Amino acid sequence: MLSIAICDDEKIICRQLENILDEIGKDIDQEIETEVYYSGEELCESLMRDNYFDLIFLDIELPQINGIEVGKKIRDELNDELTQIVYISCKESYAVELFDVRPLNFLIKPFSKEKMTAVLLTAVKLLDKENNFFEYKNSNVTFSVPVSDILYFESHGRKVNIVLSDETKSFYGKLSLVEEQIANRDFIMIHKSYLINFNHVTEYTYEYVKMSNGQVLTISQNNRKAVREKLMQRKQRMRHDK
């Protein structure tokens, strides 16, 4: 699923974008979820609450906080280089100002379905969403976390903790379902309570692994052989890559 935000103070433009995106999603067989914001402040508040979007269609001529300022907040304050930004405007004279925000594209109103399709296909290719993000829900809101940032998943009662280097996020779920969701990635179950990203393993023995945040996790007896084989394969692969 592609999560898209539309930010424009003209409701007609927002509806037009939603309709075109809905048509394109059906054409390219891509599930799309859209959220609409009518001001830069509203979008910024949402992003500050950890709402994540793969792609943002962002009007430049917004009152108070304009689109360029919103883009700079995304890049500089939130340190977000993954979200793709497509600026929209009635004017064509913003090339220099947009340079620092590193947008994916710049579209002039009114929009053509052909250009929108090209932009969306490029965004899907860049995001490579299926491989790069883990999605989970909290209070009916969908969140995305870059898989490469996840050290490990931890089962804790009815919740699953997503342990990152500087914080922990939680959601209600089962570790076994998480394992299915990220199958064929660089993760392995070392214990009924731990599903680790072995790219973040800094030290390991037959009985435990040490993660990049310094946390030591026990490998259950039933999983020791499989874990050892997986880690040895990774070690050999790293040597080969060198």
| Per-domain residue ranges of the chain | 2-127, 147-241
pLDDT at 238 over 80: no
Write out the two tokens for 59. 């009007």
In the prediction, which pLDDT does 241 show?
46
Q: pTM of this prediction?
A: 0.57
Going by their DSSP bridges, the two strands 84-89 and 55-59 should be labelled as parallel
pLDDT band of residue 129 (cuts 50, 70, 90) is low
**The CATH number of domain 147-241, selected from 2.60.120.620, 2.40.37.10, 3.40.50.720, 2.40.50.1020:** 2.40.50.1020
Q: Answer whether 2-127 and 147-241 agree in fold.
A: no
Q: Prior bond to 146 cis, omega within 30?
A: no
pLDDT band of residue 242 (cuts 50, 70, 90) is very low
Spatial separation of the C-alpha atoms in residues 1 and 34, rounded to whole Å: 10
Spatial separation of the C-alpha atoms in residues 149 and 200, rounded to whole Å: 9
Most confidently modeled range among 4-18, 65-79, 122-136: 4-18
Spatial separation of the C-alpha atoms in residues 37 and 5, rounded to whole Å: 7
Write out the two tokens for 103. 């947008």
Distance of CA 236 to the CA centre of its chain: 30
Write out the two tokens for 139. 């209070």
Residue in this structure with the two tokens 């906080």, named with its chain if needed: 65
**Residue 93 CB neighbour total at 10 angstroms:** 8
In the prediction, which pLDDT does 227 show?
87
Q: Which residues pair with 164 in a beta bridge?
A: 150
Question: What whole-number percentage of the chain has pLDDT above 70?
Answer: 92
Spatial separation of the C-alpha atoms in residues 44 and 80, rounded to whole Å: 13
CATH architecture observed for domain 2-127? 3-Layer(aba) Sandwich (3.40)
Q: How far apart are the first and last CA of the chain?
A: 35
**What values do phi and psi take at 203, rounded to 5?**
-160, 145
The stretches of 142-223 forming alpha helices (DSSP H) are 175-181
